[in-house]
Amino acid sequence: MRNYPYLCTPKQDAQSILYMNKYLSISPEVAEALSEHRPVVALESTIISHGMPYPQNVETALMVEQTIREHGAVPATIAIIGGKLKAGCTKEEIEYLGKKGQAVTKASRRDLSILLARGEDGATTVTTTMMIAAMAGISIFATGGIGGVHRGAETTMDISADLEELARTPVMVVCAGAKSILDLGLTLEYLETKGVPVIGYGTDELPAFYTRHSGFKVDYRIDTPEALAAAFRTHRELGLSGGMLVTNPIPEQYSMPEDRINRAINEALREAAEKGIRGKATTPFLLAKVKDLTGGDSLKSNIQLVLNNARLAAQVACLIG
């Protein structure tokens, strides 16, 4: 396992590596790829347990892994199983997470020590996937959409831990933008404050998950995987803290009409407020409600945007070296 000094102070370094060896389990396939300096792409597990119903969640997870393989990289689905940080899950472990569904704890940074101490399972969010990927030595991560500043955060203070992790962990995250259930303008402002570069792949505009347009500008537009790889390579060589966010628009044919998806989101937000749903339960509730309100079309779009992000992440991983 590689040594990542940002995880600990110099005095803690040797002990922290020992503890990581105790808690971190890298699959044989992923370990071999890393030792041979072959490209690896991390994948989250919250999308399996909390993002989609069974069996579409398992089918999608396996399709995403296959897509990464077809584009020359090794997939590493990340999760917490039996108190172990897993960098690379087997098909059986993915099936287990998919069937268990929302009974699996949605695990963010604050949950890790408790889940590991208790020997429990956890589905990793963007935050914890970044953390475990970095611990294992994986620098590219493909997901659906990141969390962000929730609507009404000026009173609720509901801001995703994903934004803080992007500011501290040196992983490139390829996504379809921030979920459109969020306040996208405030999310961009928060990322700017934290020094996280937001890149539009082939676009000047921040994608809004289900749709290609949001009305908000990204920091930079980059049009090729080669240029993305060069930017991230430079970011690492400079020793800059934090990650890099690549926003990759959903393919045009799967993009949903903005007025339709916004109506569904507003209805879902209203119902969540009425039911007093807050915190980590908010996003799974909203995604499920939007799926129902769109007759399942949002789920189809969700699957396609994740596959699209996996393709791009694998292409960049193959170029970084």
User: What are 42's strand-pairing partners?
Assistant: 76, 141
Residue 179 annotated in active site: yes
Residues 270, 141 contacting (CB under 8 angstroms):
no
Structural element, H or E, at residue 105: strand 105-107
Nearest Cα to 312, choosing from 226, 217, 231, 244? 226
Other Cβ atoms closer than 10 A to 178: 30
> Which of the following is catalytic: 86, 106, 179, 291?
179
Known catalytic membership, residue 275? no
Catalytic residue among 44, 65, 95, 165: 44
Phi, psi of 163 (to 5 degrees): -70, -40
**What is the distance, to the nearest Å, from the Cα of residue 10 to the centroid of all Cα atoms in its chain?**
29
Nearest alpha-carbon partner for 100 in 175, 152, 50, 26? 50
Question: CA-CA distance, 305 to 164, in Å (whole number)?
Answer: 24
- By annotation, the residues acting in catalysis are 44, 179
